[in-house]
Amino acid sequence: MSLDYVKFSTGFEKFMPKEYRDMVEHGPFGRKVSVSQMGTFKEILEEHPMCAGCAMTLFIRLAMISFPNPEDTITVGTAGCGRLAISQAAIPFVYGNYGDQNGVASGLSRGLRLRFGDKPKDVVVMVGDGGMADIGFSGTLHSWFRKEKFATIMLDNEVYGNTGGQESGMTNKGAVLKMAPLGKKFEKMDMVSMAKVAGCAYVATVVPNNPRRVESVIKKAVLIAREVGPTYIQAYTSCNIEYAIPTDKVMEDAKNVENDRYQFSEYITDEAKQYLSERYGYKEFLPKPAAAAAIPQA
């Protein structure tokens, strides 16, 4: 809830829901927090019913800490493991129909822009690999081609975890899963390339065992989506149940997968670089020194 739009008269704060007061007094609402401060503030996502050792939950926690403006952020999801955690966060979450997320987010972000103009209301889609690459594929690609301004995050556990371990389009070729009894017969879908082709202004792949990197890509994706265009983050968030990864080896697996086939990658358009440097002071995207020398110092 926006801190700028609604101001409580002195003495009335206590009538606000406890959840909200906690977020203001002890959480990230109205102040900057970082993943490096985890454990020292109340998080947007605390309790959840996810399996022990779930890498996806860690990623969602990190992502929510990284939202640049959590009190004005609305998340959109669909069926899948992720929504079981996201729905327990202290920020609004839309859970509509199967694979409808990028359609819903298109209407939501356009509607919010009509009502609030330039005041940022960040819309973030966060769904699983099946929800996006399979059942939500058309809506996702079309939202990118239409240049809808919101961030899309794939929680890629390479399987339908919530329904009990079936093959998805993002499963690796050869993997034996339910509904793929002889092993998956085609390659993992290359959503990263498709995001670039479809016109995303920012595309990144990450694994959750580097919190600062997760924070960095989430922030960039949300900020760029405000004004430049669609953004896409594909996060490897292993399913330790369906892939039988021992709980204490989940991070080790993430590291191995990162080294093997999920290397960190970041694609950013020139327009997005310029936007981040000019609007949000990203030094890494400032013009090269030679060009900068020509600009008088303020």
Taking the least distance from each CB to other proteins, the nearer of 131 and 211 is 131
Residue 194 binds other proteins (CB under 8 A): no
Minimum CB separation of residue 209 from other proteins in Å reads: 27
Residue 54 binds other proteins (CB under 8 A): no
Is residue 235 within 8 A of residue 170, CB to CB? The reply is: no
Q: Residue ranges of the alpha helices (H) in the chain?
A: 18-25, 55-66, 81-86, 101-116, 129, 137-145, 191-197, 211-227, 250-260, 270-280, 289-293
- Which tokens hold the place of 157? 């556990």
Distance from C-alpha of 90 to C-alpha of 63, rounded to nearest angstrom: 14
* Residues 73-102 within binding reach of other proteins (CB under 8 A): 73-74, 76, 84, 87-98, 100, 102
* Residues 145-164 within binding reach of other proteins (CB under 8 A): 146
Q: At what angle do helices 101-116 and 137-145 cross, to 10 degrees?
A: 40
* Residues 278-297 within binding reach of other proteins (CB under 8 A): none
Residue 41 binds other proteins (CB under 8 A): no
Distance from C-alpha of 235 to C-alpha of 220, rounded to nearest angstrom: 15
Picking from 65, 70, 61, the residue whose alpha carbon sits closest to that of residue 120 is 70
Distance from C-alpha of 207 to C-alpha of 234, rounded to nearest angstrom: 9
Query: x/- string (CB under 8 A) for other proteins, residues 105-144?
Result: xxxxxxxx-xxx----x----------------xx--x--
Minimum CB separation of residue 163 from other proteins in Å reads: 12
Minimum CB separation of residue 255 from other proteins in Å reads: 30
Strand 265-268 relative to strand 202-206, pairing: antiparallel
Distance from C-alpha of 80 to C-alpha of 50, rounded to nearest angstrom: 11
Residue 72 binds other proteins (CB under 8 A): yes
Minimum CB separation of residue 169 from other proteins in Å reads: 18
Residue 264 binds other proteins (CB under 8 A): no
**Binding stretches for other proteins (CB under 8 A):** 1-2, 5-6, 16-17, 19-20, 23, 47, 49, 71-74, 76, 84, 87-98, 100, 102-112, 114-116, 121, 138-139, 142, 146
